[in-house]
Structure 1
Amino acid sequence: MTPHQDRESLLAEAVALRTADRTEEARQRLLALAGRFPEDAEIAYQTAWAHDRLGLEAEAVPYYERALAGQLTAADRRGALLGLGSTFRVLGRYEVAVRTLRSGTAEFPADGALKTFLAMALFNVGEHHEPMQLLLALLVDSSDDEGVQQYRAAIAYYAKDLTEMV
């Protein structure tokens, strides 16, 4: 087995363990892989994710940063930006969370999860207007709720500026 095949199979096993809620086992395997392949962005991302799932947010940060410095698929990059921004928020590093999540929404403007986490981080730094705009626009764009759909135009209008009165 070549080193690449070995990496692929070991990574697949670790991801399968995490998916099966055997996260601590997955974390241990991913830490070993990250030690063997320190420049591998995908391994770093999976290692960060395992730490996050275990509530080890501070330990996840350097792995997210390593992942984002490397080459990731678009889906993994989106996940890493969301994970890192959310992790910074959980750690009380709100301004860094806002910057990270803004970067994510700039790169992935259609992603509702990034917008939602950005709204939460903005709230944490004392912003209220922009988070409401983000969440109301997201609600209009994604809700199947009959009442929301009935008032879709009004909600969309007010999402632009809640202080405006007609």
Structure 2
Amino acid sequence: MDRDTTLAETVRLREAGRRDEAREQLVALAERFPRDAEVAYQAAWVHDTLGLEAEAVPYYERALEEAGLSEDDRRGALLGLGSTYRILGRYEDAVATLAGAAADFPDDGALKTFLAMALYNTGRTHDAMEMLLTLLASTSSAPGISDYRPAIEHYAKDLDATM
């Protein structure tokens, strides 16, 4: 099989829950195409879904170093790498990766959420709470949240403040 056919097959396998088979094929494909960002991203993703975070990191890093990822895949790779760094206890790397990604994709709530978790892990609880409260206030349509949006936004800046 050629690169495109094999890559499409591995994605189908992963989506069908046959992740070990997908991983085996993606590792071989990544060896054949070591500078292919899309192959590296898919290899990282399948390793992550299998709980093999340490093995996923080099694939994420390679995917982000090479050209060729779509903007959506680049965003996904940054989120995956940042989250994986956090899971592995590499909190400062997680913050750096996710902060850069959140700056590049300012409307992505998932990036901000994972960044807040990494900030918490580094002891920056105020920054984490500010980010989460701001995100909650700006994205929630729940009546209890939207009714108190101005107060939540106010306290997001300083939880110790009084109105």
- 2:132 corresponds, among 123, 135, 141, to 135
Give the aligned partner of residue 20 of structure 2. Answer: 24
Q: CA deviation at 1:140?
A: 1.0
Give the aligned partner of residue 66 of structure 1. Answer: 62
**Runs (5+) with no aligned partner, structure 2:** none
- Find the aligned partners of 1:146 and 1:21 in 2 and give their Cα distance: 38
- 1:115 corresponds, among 112, 117, 139, to 112
User: What is the aligned length?
Assistant: 162
Identity %: 64
One-letter amino acid of the structure 1 residue matched with residue 4 of structure 2: E
Moved over 6 A (4+): none
- Find the aligned partners of 1:163 and 1:104 in 2 and give their Cα distance: 29
SS of residue in 2 equivalent to 1:52? helix
- Find the aligned partners of 2:123 and 2:65 in 1 and give their Cα distance: 30
Pairwise CA RMSD: 1.0
Give the aligned partner of residue 99 of structure 1. Answer: 96
- Find the aligned partners of 2:16 and 2:139 in 1 and give their Cα distance: 30
The answer on 1:148 being equivalent to 2:145 is yes
- TM-score when normalising by structure 1: 0.95
- Find the aligned partners of 2:105 and 2:143 in 1 and give their Cα distance: 28
SS of residue in 1 equivalent to 2:54? helix
Give the aligned partner of residue 77 of structure 1. Answer: 74
Give the aligned partner of residue 48 of structure 2. Answer: 52
